[in-house]
C-alpha cells in the first residue's frame, strides 16, 4: 500500500515537471517577450533592452530555464514582471475569488442538474421531460460569454436588479452584514452563468443513469412492493445514479483553481483565469508558471480526493 | 430496419433532421449564395436592418456605387446616397441591380445571410476537423494508457488531467502566438488542447475490455497485440466514443466562438458563426440581428448535437 | 508630526483662498466619480510603466510635474503654466534656468516637496539603472544646482527650442521615501505598499484587478472637489457602455465610435469627442522586394479608399491623415493634403512598375510571382480588424492579394522587430514635441525603433539632423515642413487616420476633458445632484 502511494507521488511529480516545462517552453518560444509591451515609439530601443536585462531575458533559454527550475524546487515562485509583487501573493489574492465563484457555480450546476434530471426521470418521455431537455440544454448550447452577457443585459441593465460585474460595489461597507450582502448580490449573475451553462450536460447525464437504474432489479423490486415511482426514484435510483457524479465533480475541481476565464472576463472577476490570461499576454513568465504549477498541483489533489471519496461512498470499490 | 428507427426518441429524430439541414446548408449553401466577403461599395458601408433594399450601379471602371434609391432620368440614373442626390451619367453605368438583404448587413455592409451560409461551412469544418484531431490524439493516449497500465498509464492520465488544469484558452493563445493563425492552425490548436476527455473514456473502455473473456481468449491463443488492439478492442470501444464525439462536436464549435470573443478566432474576412456572434456582441446596441441570427444557428446546432447524442445513448440502452 | 500636519493644513487653506483654476468652489459631500478602465493599473511608478496612456494619466494625478503643459499645441509648441514651479526664468544666454517652487506642496507622508526632490528626480531620470525612459531626453540638462529649499538652477549643455519641455517631462518623485531603495532595485521594487504621493488625489485603497480608490488629498495646494475617484477595471468595452447607461459607472475615458452614437441618444450621458494625438497608418516593409519601390507604395495608397475607411470604422470620429504630423499640430505643413483615392492611377503605376495580371487570375504578378501581402494587426483590436478587411477589399480591386492576419500582441511586436512582415496596421500617439527622427530617420538598429519598417532616405536624414540642432522654433518649423514633404513623397507608409478620442460621462458630472490629458483640470470636476 505504501509503495503504491509512493509511486503515485513520484508519477505526480513527473507530471508536474512535464506540464511546467511544457508551459515554460511554450511561453518562451512564442514570439515576443515581456519587453514587447513598451510600444511608445519615442522611447529609445535601449529602453527595451534594459527591460530585457532587468528580467534576465538576455541570458540563453537553457540558463533561464535551469535557474527558474532551481528556484521553483526551492519553493520560490519569484516576482511577477507585470505587477512587481511576489507571485505567491498575487496567486493568494486571485485564488479565493476563483474558488468562491467556481465552487458556487459547480454547486448550482450539480443541484440544478440533479433536480432537473430527477424531475424528468419521474415522468420519462412526457411533454415535461422533452421541454426540460430542451430548456436545460439551451444555455449549454451557447458560449458562456453570450449567456453571461444575456443575463447582464436582462437583470442588470434592463431590470436593474443586480450588479453587472465585480465582486463588490465601489461603495461597499468595510465589513459586516452589509458587505456580505453586497458580495452575495455580485455573485448571483456569474454563478448563474456557470451553473446554467453546466447544468444541461449534467442533467442529461444524470437522467440517462436514472432511467438505467429504474430498469434495474432493485428498483423494479421496490416498485413491485408498492413503492411509488416518485419514492423509488428519490430513495433508490437517485443515490446510485448520483454516485458517478462524485467522480465527475472531483475531476472538475481543477476549475476551482484555474477558473472560468470567459466568465471572469465578462464579469470583471479578479480570479485566476484573468490573471493567467494577462500573464500570458504580457509574457510574465514567473506569474504564468506559478499559476500553472498551482493549477496542476490542484489536479493531483483533485484526483486523490475523487478516488478516496468514491471508495468511501461505494462499498463495491472498497478494498 | 423500421423497428430500429422507431426507437429513436422524437427529439433526437428532429435534432438529426436539423443537423442534416445544417450540413446541407454548409455543403450546398455556398454554391448558390454569393461570396460573403464582398464589400460592394466601401464608401457606403452602413449597418442595414433585415429586409432593407439597396441599389447598385456597376460602373465602367469596375467599381460599384451603392444607393438608397434609384430612378432613371434622361441623362442616366438619379441616385440618393447618404442623403445626397446625384446623377450618374449613362455612359459610366454598365449595369444596375437591386438587392434585398433579408437578414441585414454588418458594420462593413456585408450581407449577413451570405456570411451565415458560408459561416456554416467554416464552423462545421472547423468543428469536425478539431473533432477528428482530438479523437485521434485521445484514442492513442487512451489506448496506450489502458493497454499498458502501470507507470505509463499513471503518467499519461495524470498528464491529461494536468493539461486540463492549465486554462485552455491561455494555452491556445500561446499556441496561436507561436504558430501563424489560419483556419487549419486553429483547428489543430483547438483539437490538440481538447483530447483529454477522449483519452480518459478510451482508457476506461480498454481497461474493461482487457478483462473480457474474448480478449483473454485471444491472448491465450497467441494473437498478436496489435491485432487484438486494432481488430477487437478498438471497434468495441468505438460506440461510447461515437456518442461522446457527437457531444464534443458542439463544444468544439463553441470554443471557436470563445476564442473569437478574445480576438483569437478565425482570421477575417472569413466568417464563422462563432466569430459573427463574438463580433456582434460588441455592437449589440446598434444591431440586434448581428447577434440573434448567428446566436440562434449556433445554439440550434449545438443543441441538436447534444440531443442526437442523447438519442444515441437511449437507443443503445434499448439495444442492449 | 501632528504639528507638521496642522501647518500643512493651513498652507492648503491658503492655496484655496488664492484660488487654483476653477477648483476653488466648495467641495461637495460624498462626491464620488466611478471611472471604467479596461485593464488594471500595473504600477503607480513611471519607472516601471510600459507607457500606456491611461496609466500615465493616473500617475499624473498622484505626482506633480514642474509645469503644466497646456493643450495649445495647434499654433506653437505647447506653452507651460505653473504647477509645482511658480516662476521660472532663463539666463540671457538661455543656458541656465532659474526655477522657484511653491512652498505649500507636501507629500502625503507630511514632508515638504523641495528642490532636493527635483534634483533627486533628475538623478533618477538620468539613470539607466533606475529604469528611466528619459535618459536621452534629459541628456542636455547637465545638472541641477539647489540654491535653497524652493529654488534651483538647471544648467543646459546647449540651446534649443524644447528646453522647458525636456526639463518638465516625467514626474517629481519623493526623495524622502524613494531614496532608501537603490536605483538598481527600482525596476523590481513594489512601490504601491505605502504610496507617497503629491497630487489632488492620493491612494486610499486598492483591490487588484477590481477597484482602485483614490481619495481627495486635503493637503494638496489645489485640492479636488471630488471626494473619491474610483477606478473600476472593466475589460469588456460593451460592458463599460452598458454600465454607464445603467448608471453603475460615471465615466468612460475611451468609447468605441460605434457606441458613441448610441450613448448620444441617452439623456443621462454626455459624449465629448476631441482630436486625440493618435496617428494611424499602414506600414509597408521596405525589405519586401515589391514594396521597396516608392511608386508601388504610392499606388497602394491611391488604391485604398481612406475616406471610406475612416467613415466606416470611425463613423465621423476621425479624418484622413495627410502625413506624419497631425493636422492639428503646430508643425503641420498646411500645404499638404492626403493623396486622393484613385484606383485607376494606382493600376497605371503598378503596371509601370512591372506588375500585370499575366495569367488572368485577377491578381497581379511579376516574374512569375504573385503580388501577395500579409496584413498584420493586433488580434485584440476589433477596429483594426475592420480596417484590415476594408484595405483587403480595396487592394483586391487593383489586383493585390492581401490577407488580414490578426496577431497576438507580443508576437506582432517580435515580428516587427525582426522585420518578418509585409504590412502592419498600426498607430502611434504623437508627442507634442514633434520629433520625426524617432519614426522616420534611417534607424541604426531597427529593433524597437519607431522606424521598424526599414525606411531610409539620406536627404531626409540630413534635414532631421538639422532639426535636432535648430536653435529656434521658426527654423524648426521650416525644417519640419521640408521633412514632411519628403516623407509624403516617399509614402514609406500609407497614412490612414487621425483619430478623435471619445469620452462619455454621466450628465451629473461637470467636467471638461481635454485633448492634452483625459484628467486635465480634474480638480475642478464635480458631480451635481440628478
pLDDT (0 to 100) of residue A4: 65
With an 8 Å Cβ cutoff, are A166 and C211 in contact?
yes
Counting Cβ atoms within 10 Å, is residue C38 exposed (0-12), middle (13-18) or buried (19+)?
Answer: middle
3-class secondary-structure state, position C282: strand
What whole-number distance in Å separates Cα of residue C161 and Cα of residue C73? 14
What whole-number distance in Å separates Cα of residue C378 and Cα of residue A77? 30
With an 8 Å Cβ cutoff, are C305 and B42 in contact?
yes
Range of weakest confidence among A50-64, C162-176, C297-311, C434-448:
C434-448
Q: Is the dihedral of CA C283, C288, C291, C293 positive or negative?
A: positive
C242 touches chain A (CB under 8 A): yes
C415 touches chain B (CB under 8 A): no
3-class secondary-structure state, position A106: helix
Q: Are strands C228-233 and C401-407 parallel, antiparallel or unpaired?
A: unpaired
Q: Which residue has the cell 471572469?
A: A264
Kindly state the average pLDDT of the residues C104-131: 90
Instruction: Using pLDDT thresholds of 50, 70 and 90, give the confidence band for residue C436.
Output: confident
Integer CA distances (angstroms), C265 to B83, C236, C247, C260, C271, in order: 21, 21, 15, 9, 10
Q: How many CA atoms lie within 13 A of B307 on its CB side?
A: 29
3-class secondary-structure state, position C1: coil
> What is the nearest CA distance from B158 to chain A, expressed in angstroms?
6
What whole-number distance in Å separates Cα of residue C405 and Cα of residue C377? 6
What whole-number distance in Å separates Cα of residue C187 and Cα of residue B251? 43
What whole-number distance in Å separates Cα of residue C124 and Cα of residue C118? 10
φ and ψ at C96, to 5 degrees? -130, 135
Q: Do B190 and B65 belong to one domain?
A: no
What whole-number distance in Å separates Cα of residue C113 and Cα of residue C105? 5
B184 touches chain C (CB under 8 A): no
The H or E element containing residue C151 is strand C151-156
pLDDT (0 to 100) of residue C103: 92
> What is the nearest CA distance from C513 to chain B, expressed in angstroms?
25
With an 8 Å Cβ cutoff, are B286 and C258 in contact?
yes
3-class secondary-structure state, position B101: strand
Instruction: Using pLDDT thresholds of 50, 70 and 90, give the confidence band for residue C364.
Output: very high
The H or E element containing residue C312 is helix C306-314
Domain that holds residue B76: 52-101
pLDDT (0 to 100) of residue A52: 81
φ and ψ at C221, to 5 degrees? -70, -20
* Annotated domain spans of chain A: 87-317
Chain A hits for C376, Cβ within 8 Å: none
φ and ψ at A296, to 5 degrees? -65, -40
List Cβ neighbours of C357 (8 Å cut-off, separation of 6 or more): C363, C364, C365, C399
Please name the fold of domain A87-317: MetI-like fold (1.10.3720)
Kindly state the average pLDDT of the residues B13-19: 85
Contact status, residue B161 vs residue A254, Cβ threshold 8 Å: yes
Contact status, residue B27 vs residue B111, Cβ threshold 8 Å: no
Question: What's chain A's Rg over C-alpha atoms?
Answer: 24
Q: Nearest Cβ partner of C43 from A30, A84, A283?
A: A84
Please provide the average confidence, as pLDDT, over all residues in chain C.
Answer: 86
| DSSP secondary structure letter of residue B105 | B
Please provide the average confidence, as pLDDT, over all residues in chain A.
Answer: 82
| DSSP secondary structure letter of residue B267 | P
Integer CA distances (angstroms), C283 to C52, C427, C496, in order: 21, 9, 10
pLDDT (0 to 100) of residue C7: 36
What whole-number distance in Å separates Cα of residue C186 and Cα of residue C358? 61
Helix-, strand-, coil-residue percentages of chain B, each rounded to 5: 65, 10, 25
Using the predicted structure, report yes or no on whether residue C25 has a pLDDT greater than 60: no
The H or E element containing residue C215 is strand C211-216
Q: Nearest Cβ partner of A42 from C192, C435, C445?
A: C435
Stretches in chain A below the pLDDT threshold 50: 317-319
pLDDT (0 to 100) of residue B237: 77
Set of cell numbers at residue B47: 449597418
- What digits encode the pLDDT tens for the residues A3-38? 666 777 777 788 788 888 888 988 888 888 877 776
Set of cell numbers at residue A105: 457555480
What whole-number distance in Å separates Cα of residue C208 and Cα of residue B282? 26
**Total tally of structural domains belonging to chain B:** 2
Chain C hits for B109, Cβ within 8 Å: 312
Q: Do B214 and B292 belong to one domain?
A: yes
Set of cell numbers at residue C482: 521640408
Set of cell numbers at residue A79: 516576482
Contact status, residue C138 vs residue C126, Cβ threshold 8 Å: yes
Kindly state the average pLDDT of the residues C413-436: 87
Residue B260 located in a structural domain: yes
Residue B43 located in a structural domain: no
pLDDT (0 to 100) of residue B269: 83
Q: Do B141 and B220 belong to one domain?
A: yes
With an 8 Å Cβ cutoff, are A82 and C188 in contact?
no
- pTM score: 0.86
Using the predicted structure, report yes or no on whether residue C36 has a pLDDT greater than 80: yes
3-class secondary-structure state, position C372: strand
CB-CB neighbours of A64 under 10 Å: 17
Instruction: Using pLDDT thresholds of 50, 70 and 90, give the confidence band for residue C523.
Output: confident
Range of weakest confidence among B140-154, B215-229, C51-65, C354-368:
B215-229
pLDDT (0 to 100) of residue C1: 35
Using the predicted structure, report yes or no on whether residue C494 has a pLDDT greater than 50: yes
What whole-number distance in Å separates Cα of residue C273 and Cα of residue C58? 20
Contact status, residue A55 vs residue A81, Cβ threshold 8 Å: yes
Q: Which residue has the cell 536621452?
A: C136
Between C479 and A34, the higher pLDDT residue: C479
pLDDT (0 to 100) of residue C24: 45
φ and ψ at C85, to 5 degrees? -85, 140
Q: Are strands C509-510 and C526-527 parallel, antiparallel or unpaired?
A: antiparallel
Between C129 and C342, the higher pLDDT residue: C342
Among candidate residues C520, C518, C501, C497, the one with its CA nearest the CA of residue C275: C501
Q: Are strands B93-101 and C211-216 parallel, antiparallel or unpaired?
A: unpaired
Set of cell numbers at residue B79: 441616385
> What is the nearest CA distance from B307 to chain A, expressed in angstroms?
8
Which homologous superfamily does the CATH classification assign to the domain defined by C276-501?
Answer: Dipeptide-binding Protein; Domain 3 (3.10.105.10)
The DSSP-derived string for C449-483 is: SS-TT----HHHHHHHHHHHH--SHHHHHHHHHHH
pLDDT (0 to 100) of residue C12: 36
Range of weakest confidence among A194-208, B150-164, C144-158, C420-434:
B150-164
Kindly state the average pLDDT of the residues C37-56: 83
Contact status, residue B244 vs residue B252, Cβ threshold 8 Å: no
Q: Do B85 and B184 belong to one domain?
A: no
Q: Cis (ω within 30 of 0) for the bond into C35?
A: no
The H or E element containing residue B10 is helix B10-32
Instruction: Using pLDDT thresholds of 50, 70 and 90, give the confidence band for residue B44.
Output: low
Set of cell numbers at residue C173: 518623485
List Cβ neighbours of C109 (8 Å cut-off, separation of 6 or more): C174, C176, C177, C194, C196
Instruction: Using pLDDT thresholds of 50, 70 and 90, give the confidence band for residue B133.
Output: very high
What whole-number distance in Å separates Cα of residue A293 and Cα of residue A299? 10
3-class secondary-structure state, position C69: strand
Chosen from A56, A94, A166, A170 to mutate, greatest number of chain C CBs within 10 A = A170
Residue B306 located in a structural domain: yes
- What digits encode the pLDDT tens for the residues C283-294? 999 999 889 999
CB-CB neighbours of C413 under 10 Å: 24
What whole-number distance in Å separates Cα of residue C262 and Cα of residue C271? 10
Q: Nearest Cβ partner of B177 from A8, A32, A143?
A: A32
Contact status, residue C325 vs residue C480, Cβ threshold 8 Å: yes
> What is the nearest CA distance from C40 to chain A, expressed in angstroms?
10
List Cβ neighbours of A240 (8 Å cut-off, separation of 6 or more): A209, A213
Judge if ipTM > 0.85.
no
- What digits encode the pLDDT tens for the residues C387-396? 999 999 889 9
Q: Nearest Cβ partner of B165 from A133, A212, A258?
A: A258
| Domain C11-24+42-188 in this protein, CATH class | alpha beta
Kindly state the average pLDDT of the residues B311-317: 74
Residue B232 located in a structural domain: yes
Helices of type H across chain A = 2-29, 45-54, 61-73, 87-122, 127-140, 144-152, 176-214, 217-224, 229-231, 238-251, 253-258, 261-266, 272-281, 285-313
Please provide the average confidence, as pLDDT, over all residues in chain B.
Answer: 81
∠C355-C361-C367 over CA atoms, to 5°? Answer: 35
> What is the nearest CA distance from B164 to chain A, expressed in angstroms?
8
Q: Are strands C211-216 and C201-207 parallel, antiparallel or unpaired?
A: antiparallel
With an 8 Å Cβ cutoff, are B108 and C312 in contact?
yes
Q: Nearest Cβ partner of B108 from C307, C389, C405?
A: C389
| DSSP secondary structure letter of residue B118 | H
What whole-number distance in Å separates Cα of residue C11 and Cα of residue C28? 21
Set of cell numbers at residue A187: 455573485
Amino acid at each position: 500500500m505504501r509503495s503504491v502511494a509512493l509511486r503515485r507521488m513520484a508519477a505526480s511529480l513527473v507530471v508536474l515537471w512535464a506540464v511546467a516545462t511544457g508551459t515554460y517552453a511554450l511561453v518562451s518560444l512564442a514570439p515576443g517577450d515581456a519587453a514587447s509591451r513598451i510600444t511608445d515609439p519615442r522611447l529609445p530601443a535601449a529602453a527595451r533592452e534594459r527591460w530585457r536585462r532587468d528580467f534576465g531575458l538576455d541570458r540563453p533559454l537553457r540558463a533561464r530555464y535551469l535557474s527558474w527550475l532551481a528556484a521553483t524546487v526551492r519553493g520560490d515562485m519569484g516576482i511577477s514582471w507585470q505587477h512587481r509583487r511576489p507571485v505567491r501573493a498575487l496567486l493568494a489574492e486571485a485564488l479565493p475569488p476563483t474558488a468562491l465563484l467556481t465552487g458556487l457555480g459547480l454547486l448550482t450546476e450539480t443541484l440544478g442538474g440533479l433536480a432537473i434530471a430527477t424531475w424528468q426521470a419521474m415522468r420519462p418521455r412526457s411533454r415535461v421531460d422533452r421541454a426540460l431537455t430542451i430548456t436545460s440544454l439551451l444555455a449549454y448550447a451557447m458560449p458562456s460569454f453570450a449567456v453571461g452577457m444575456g443575463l447582464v443585459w436582462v437583470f442588470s441593465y434592463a431590470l436593474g436588479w443586480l450588479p453587472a460585474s465585480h465582486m463588490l460595489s465601489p461603495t461597499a461597507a468595510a465589513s459586516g452584514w452589509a458587505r456580505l450582502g453586497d458580495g452575495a448580490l455580485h455573485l448571483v449573475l456569474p454563478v448563474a452563468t456557470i451553473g446554467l451553462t453546466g447544468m444541461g450536460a449534467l442533467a442529461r447525464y444524470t437522467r440517462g443513469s436514472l432511467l438505467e437504474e429504474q430498469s434495474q432489479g432493485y428498483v423494479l423490486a421496490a416498485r413491485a412492493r408498492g413503492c411509488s415511482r416518485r419514492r423509488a426514484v428519490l430513495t433508490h435510483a437517485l443515490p446510485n445514479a448520483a454516485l458517478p457524479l462524485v467522480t465527475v465533480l472531483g475531476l472538475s475541481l481543477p476549475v476551482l483553481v484555474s477558473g472560468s476565464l470567459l466568465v471572469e472576463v465578462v464579469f470583471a472577476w479578479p480570479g485566476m483565469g484573468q490573471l493567467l490570461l494577462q500573464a500570458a499576454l504580457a509574457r510574465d513568465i514567473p506569474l504564468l508558471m506559478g499559476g500553472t504549477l498551482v493549477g496542476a498541483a490542484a489536479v493531483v489533489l483533485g484526483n486523490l480526493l475523487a478516488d478516496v471519496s468514491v471508495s468511501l461512498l461505494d462499498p463495491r470499490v472498497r478494498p | 430496419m423500421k423497428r430500429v428507427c422507431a426507437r429513436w426518441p422524437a427529439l433526437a429524430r428532429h435534432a438529426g433532421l436539423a443537423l442534416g439541414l445544417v450540413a446541407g446548408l454548409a455543403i450546398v449553401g455556398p454554391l448558390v449564395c454569393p461570396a460573403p466577403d464582398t464589400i460592394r461599395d466601401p464608401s457606403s458601408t452602413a449597418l442595414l436592418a433585415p429586409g432593407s433594399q439597396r441599389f447598385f450601379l456597376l460602373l465602367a471602371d469596375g467599381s460599384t456605387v451603392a444607393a438608397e434609391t434609384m430612378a432613371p432620368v434622361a441623362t442616366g440614373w438619379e441616385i440618393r446616397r447618404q442623403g445626397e442626390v446625384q446623377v450618374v451619367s449613362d455612359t459610366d453605368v454598365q449595369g444596375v441591380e437591386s438587392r434585398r438583404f433579408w437578414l441585414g448587413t454588418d458594420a462593413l455592409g456585408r450581407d449577413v445571410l451570405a456570411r451565415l451560409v458560408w459561416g456554416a461551412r467554416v464552423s462545421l469544418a472547423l468543428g469536425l476537423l478539431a473533432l477528428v484531431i482530438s479523437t485521434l490524439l485521445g484514442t492513442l493516449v487512451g489506448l496506450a494508457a489502458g493497454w499498458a497500465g502501470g507507470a505509463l498509464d499513471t503518467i499519461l492520465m495524470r498528464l491529461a488531467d494536468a493539461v486540463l488544469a492549465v486554462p485552455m484558452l491561455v494555452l491556445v493563445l500561446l499556441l496561436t502566438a507561436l504558430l501563424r493563425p489560419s483556419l487549419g492552425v486553429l483547428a489543430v490548436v483547438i483539437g490538440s488542447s481538447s483530447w483529454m476527455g477522449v483519452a480518459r473514456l478510451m482508457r476506461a473502455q480498454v481497461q474493461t475490455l482487457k478483462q473480457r473473456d474474448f480478449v483473454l481468449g485471444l491472448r491465450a491463443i497467441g494473437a498478436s497485440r496489435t491485432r487484438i488492439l486494432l481488430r477487437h478492442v478498438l471497434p468495441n470501444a468505438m460506440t461510447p466514443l461515437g456518442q461522446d464525439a457527437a457531444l464534443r462536436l458542439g463544444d468544439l464549435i463553441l470554443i471557436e466562438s470563445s476564442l473569437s470573443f478574445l480576438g483569437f478566432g478565425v482570421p477575417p474576412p472569413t466568417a464563422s458563426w462563432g466569430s459573427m456572434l463574438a463580433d456582434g456582441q460588441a455592437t449589440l446596441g446598434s444591431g440586434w440581428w448581428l447577434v440573434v441570427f448567428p446566436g440562434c444557428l449556433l445554439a440550434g446546432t449545438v443543441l441538436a448535437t447534444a440531443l442526437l447524442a442523447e438519442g444515441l445513448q437511449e437507443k443503445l440502452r434499448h439495444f442492449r | 508630526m501632528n504639528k507638521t500636519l496642522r501647518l500643512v493644513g493651513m498652507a492648503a487653506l491658503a492655496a484655496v483662498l488664492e484660488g487654483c483654476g476653477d477648483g476653488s468652489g466648495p467641495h461637495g459631500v460624498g462626491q464620488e466619480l466611478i471611472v471604467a478602465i479596461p485593464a488594471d493599473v500595473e504600477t503607480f511608478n513611471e519607472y516601471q510603466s510600459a507607457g500606456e496612456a491611461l496609466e500615465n494619466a493616473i500617475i499624473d494625478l498622484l505626482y506633480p510635474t514642474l509645469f503644466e503643459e497646456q493643450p495649445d499645441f495647434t499654433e506653437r509648441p505647447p506653452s507651460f503654466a505653473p504647477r509645482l514651479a511658480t516662476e521660472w526664468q532663463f539666463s540671457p544666454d538661455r543656458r541656465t534656468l532659474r526655477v522657484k517652487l511653491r512652498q505649500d506642496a507636501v507629500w502625503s507622508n507630511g514632508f515638504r516637496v523641495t528642490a532636493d526632490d527635483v534634483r533627486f528626480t533628475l538623478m533618477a531620470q538620468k539613470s539607466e539603472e533606475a529604469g528611466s525612459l528619459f535618459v536621452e531626453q534629459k541628456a542636455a540638462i547637465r545638472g541641477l544646482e539647489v540654491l535653497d529649499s524652493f529654488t534651483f538652477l538647471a544648467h543646459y549643455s546647449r540651446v534649443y527650442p524644447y528646453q522647458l519641455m525636456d526639463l518638465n517631462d516625467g514626474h517629481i518623485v519623493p526623495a524622502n521615501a524613494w531614496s532608501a531603495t537603490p536605483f538598481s532595485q527600482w525596476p523590481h521594487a513594489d512601490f504601491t505598499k505605502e504610496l507617497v504621493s503629491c497630487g489632488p488625489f492620493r491612494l486610499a485603497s486598492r483591490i487588484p484587478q477590481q477597484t482602485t480608490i483614490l481619495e481627495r488629498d486635503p493637503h494638496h495646494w489645489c485640492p479636488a472637489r471630488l471626494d473619491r475617484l474610483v477606478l473600476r477595471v472593466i475589460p469588456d468595452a460593451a460592458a463599460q457602455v452598458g454600465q454607464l447607461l445603467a448608471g453603475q459607472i460615471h465615466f468612460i475615458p475611451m468609447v468605441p465610435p460605434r457606441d458613441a452614437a448610441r450613448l448620444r441618444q441617452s439623456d443621462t450621458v454626455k459624449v465629448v469627442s476631441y482630436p486625440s494625438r493618435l496617428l494611424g497608418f499602414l506600414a509597408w516593409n521596405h525589405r519586401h522586394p515589391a514594396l521597396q519601390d516608392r511608386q508601388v507604395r504610392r499606388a497602394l495608397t491611391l488604391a485604398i479608399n481612406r475616406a471610406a475607411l475612416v467613415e466606416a470604422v470611425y463613423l465621423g470620429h476621425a479624418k484622413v491623415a495627410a502625413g506624419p504630423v497631425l493636422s492639428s499640430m503646430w508643425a503641420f505643413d498646411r500645404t499638404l493634403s492626403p493623396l486622393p483615392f484613385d484606383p485607376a492611377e494606382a493600376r497605371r503605376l503598378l503596371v509601370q512598375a512591372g506588375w500585370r495580371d499575366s495569367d488572368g487570375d485577377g491578381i497581379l504578378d511579376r516574374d512569375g510571382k504573385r503580388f501577395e501581402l500579409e496584413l498584420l494587426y493586433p488580434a485584440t483590436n476589433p477596429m483594426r480588424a475592420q480596417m484590415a478587411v476594408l484595405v483587403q477589399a480595396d487592394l483586391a480591386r487593383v489586383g493585390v492579394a492581401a490577407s488580414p492576419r490578426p496577431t497576438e500582441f507580443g508576437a506582432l511586436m517580435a515580428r516587427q522587430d525582426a522585420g518578418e512582415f509585409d504590412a502592419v496596421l498600426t498607430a502611434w500617439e504623437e508627442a507634442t514635441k514633434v520629433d520625426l527622427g524617432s519614426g522616420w530617420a534611417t534607424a541604426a538598429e531597427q529593433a524597437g525603433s519607431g522606424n521598424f519598417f526599414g525606411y531610409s532616405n539620406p536627404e531626409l536624414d540630413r534635414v532631421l539632423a538639422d532639426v535636432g540642432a535648430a536653435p529656434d522654433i521658426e527654423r524648426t518649423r521650416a525644417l519640419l515642413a521640408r521633412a514632411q514633404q519628403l516623407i509624403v513623397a516617399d509614402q514609406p507608409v500609407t497614412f490612414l487616420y487621425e483619430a478623435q478620442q471619445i469620452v462619455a460621462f454621466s450628465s451629473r458630472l461637470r467636467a471638461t476633458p481635454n485633448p492634452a490629458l483625459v484628467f486635465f483640470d480634474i480638480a475642478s470636476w464635480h458631480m451635481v445632484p440628478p
